[in-house]
Every structure is written in structure tokens, then in C-alpha cells.
Amino acid sequence: MTVLDVLKERGFIQQLTHEDEMIALFEKEKITFYIGFDPTADSLHVGHFLGMMVMAHMQNAGHRPVCLIGGGTTMVGDPSGKTDMRKMMTQDDIVYNGERFKKQMQRFIDFSNGKALMVNNADWLLKLNYIEFLRDIGAHFSVNRMLTAECFKQRLDRGLSFLEFNYMLMQAYDFLELNRQYNCTMQMGGDDQWSNILAGADLIRRKESKPAYGLTFTLLTTSDGRKMGKTEKGALWLDAEKTSPYTFYQYWRNIDDADVEKCLALLTFMPMDEVRRLGSLKDKEINIAKKILAFEVTKLIHGAEEAEKAQQAAEALFSGAGTLDNVPTVSITPNMIGMKVLDILAATEIVSSKSEGRRLIQQGGLYLGQTKVTDFDLILTDDLFENKSLLIRKGKKNYHRMVVTP
């Protein structure tokens, strides 16, 4: 079984080019491939995690990953999957974010002894002569064909800047440059990158008269097509400072039953026989699979110790076992007793705003201990606390602990 078979079995592959050639290639040699990451934030999120799992499977089979940091392309912005133009970033911000990415990737990818490479496309894109680039690369692109690409079509009504229109040429040039420097013969990416990947593979075949291949993997979506990895505070980040291990664990613990098997296959290294067994569990038994999923994914991102702490916190809340020490905790001072609950929740960021707090109360979804909050003007009093600690619940399963400290 080649790694291509593994990726197919686990449900990663959406589209690929020259399939027969690719199958023969994987059967006879090890390749260098790349996946690009535009560092638009100072942390990777769970959408990137899928790409890193693909890289890990490929590296485990002996192939060499190139993690391409988009120091140049980030200054332009990829229109794929976007409804608006991306805000401009400084080069300093891009470099800083790229360094943060590498630290997170090292949990999955072995960069020692050239087993994987991390390169930055700013090294060649920022040095390009525009006229030479247009003559050398632009001559191989048909505007008519580009406008049929999904990444451009969806933006035409809302407005597509010429800056963004260049993105496909730049990404194709990245593939060409990596092919020349590192003999990189395959680009992989999310399914929204299909048009860009095709452009790069075609450019190499035209310019170098050499084979080049593309493969897209599935985007992380729910069974009804919605993007996964969104929390009430935004993206599900891989940085513990941006999304706590407990919150990360709880996200996977609470996914829909229909998504459990898919997530086990894509986001863990568990054998597929066990994935299918766990995915087939029904009714209350599916919670066993969800606990395993939450633990395994949290362990991969944050390590076994943090996964165990998150698991203990969840057990403490839902089954009366374990410890509450690892539940997300905020501190208040004694002089805050006597203030309105909504003001304190907003100040401690347990709710993002007082408006969110009011909506929770209207919907019957805010509890202080066992008491449902029904009054917008409720005052926080000493008698709500037990040993200076108060458990706060938002919705069905989102818990915080509030403690009074001097």
C-alpha cells in the first residue's frame, strides 16, 4: 500500500492530476512535495492542521515535505475562498508569524538532517523584476482561462483587485522555483487551491518539460457542509494562548455524531479498523468515540500532559470525577462583589460583550452554579460562591470558573 492509498482510505484526497502517472511515481520512488502556508496570523489554526497531517503521513512514508511560508504571497493576498480583499501586512509581521508557524509545525514534522525543509517565498518573489516576470511567466497564462477559475469567479461581482489577480501567477512561480531548487514535483493544498495548483503544475511542464503533479485534500467541514473549527471567539487556534487546551478538547468532545468517524480518520493516526469501529457506535456509546477523538487530537497539538489535564477537567464537570483545576479560570478582586454580573462577565471576557451576555440570558443559557440567570441586572453576591469559587456555564457545555483573589 502506497501513501496515496493511505490518504485515499482516510478520506483526504479530493482531486489529483495525472492519476496514473502519480500512482506509478509513488510505487517506484520517494518525492519532494510542498504545501504553502500564508502567515496571516501568529498561529496556525485547525484548518492548517489537516495539511500538517497530510505532510506527516507523507513524511512517514519516506517523502520529503517542503513547508513554504508565504512571506511574499501574503503581501498580496489569496482571493481563494475570500469574499473581501485581505488587509495588508508589514514584512516584520509576516516574518514573526512565520517563525511562530515553524515552532508549531515541529510537533508533526521532522526537520532534522534535511528530512523536511522550511523555505520562504519572499526569498525570490521580493527580488523579481516585474517586466521580466511578465515576459517569462505571464506569457504562459490565459486571462480567459484564469477568469473561469472558481477562486476568481466568486469575486467578480464583489470586486477583484489586480493585486489579487496576480496571486495565481505568484503561486505557480513558487512551484516552478521549488522544482528548480529542490526537485519538488508535487504541490498539495486544500481543495480551494485546485486552480492555483493546476496552474503551477502546468507551468513546470511548459517551462521545464518535466512532469509535475498536484493533489488537493478535503477541507475540514461538517457532514452538512459547514466549515469546522469555529468557536464563539473565532478560529480554533493551535496556540494554547489563543485557544486553551481545555477549549480545544471540548470542541472535539462536542462535535456532531455524524462527524466523529471522519475526524478520527483525518486528525489522528489511529488504525482505520479502529476508526471504523468507533465511528459505528450509536446513541450514548458514540460518546466513547468522542472522548477518544478529543484526547488524541489534543495530545497531538498540545502534548499528552495537557490532553490529560483537559480530560480531567471535562470529567470533573460532566461526571463528578477528576479536578476542576484545569477548567478555564478568571480571577476577580473582592471589590467586584456587588457589581452587575453582566459587567463582570464582559470585563473578564467570559462573554465577548454585554450584548452577548444579554442574548445568553434571553435564551436561558447562562448559569451561575446551578442557578439560571434570568435578570439582566443581577448583582454578584458572596452567597453565589463556594470557597471563593463559582462555576459559570454558557450554553450546554461551555464552562468557566471564577475565583475571588485578594
* Catalytic residue from among 18, 100, 205, 230: 230
Matching residue, cell 457542509: 225
- The radius of gyration of the chain from alpha carbons, rounded to an integer in Å, stands at 24
Residue 197 buriedness (CB in 10 A; 0-12 / 13-18 / 19+): buried
Check if 48 is active-site. yes
* Catalytic residue from among 10, 64, 86, 299: 86
- Closest C-alpha among 244, 190, 196, 195 to residue 218: 190
* Catalytic residue from among 48, 262, 302, 401: 48
Check if 86 is active-site. yes
Whole-angstrom Cα distance, residue 183 to residue 180?
6
Check if 227 is active-site. yes
* Catalytic residue from among 82, 180, 205, 277: 82
Residues annotated within a binding site for ATP: 230
* Catalytic residue from among 32, 59, 171, 216: 171
* Catalytic residue from among 192, 239, 256, 343: 192
Check if 302 is active-site. no
292-to-274, 304, 307 alpha-carbon distances in Å: 11, 13, 11
Whole-angstrom Cα distance, residue 175 to residue 181?
10
Residues annotated within a binding site: 34, 167, 171, 230
Check if 40 is active-site. yes
Check if 192 is active-site. yes
C-alpha cell at 201: 503544475
* Catalytic residue from among 227, 233, 276, 372: 227
Whole-angstrom Cα distance, residue 353 to residue 105?
34
* Catalytic residue from among 2, 14, 40, 222: 40
SS3 236: coil
Residues annotated within a binding site for L-tyrosine: 34, 167, 171
- Closest C-alpha among 86, 401, 97 to residue 242: 97
Which residues does the annotation mark as catalytic? 40, 45, 48, 82, 86, 171, 192, 227, 230-231
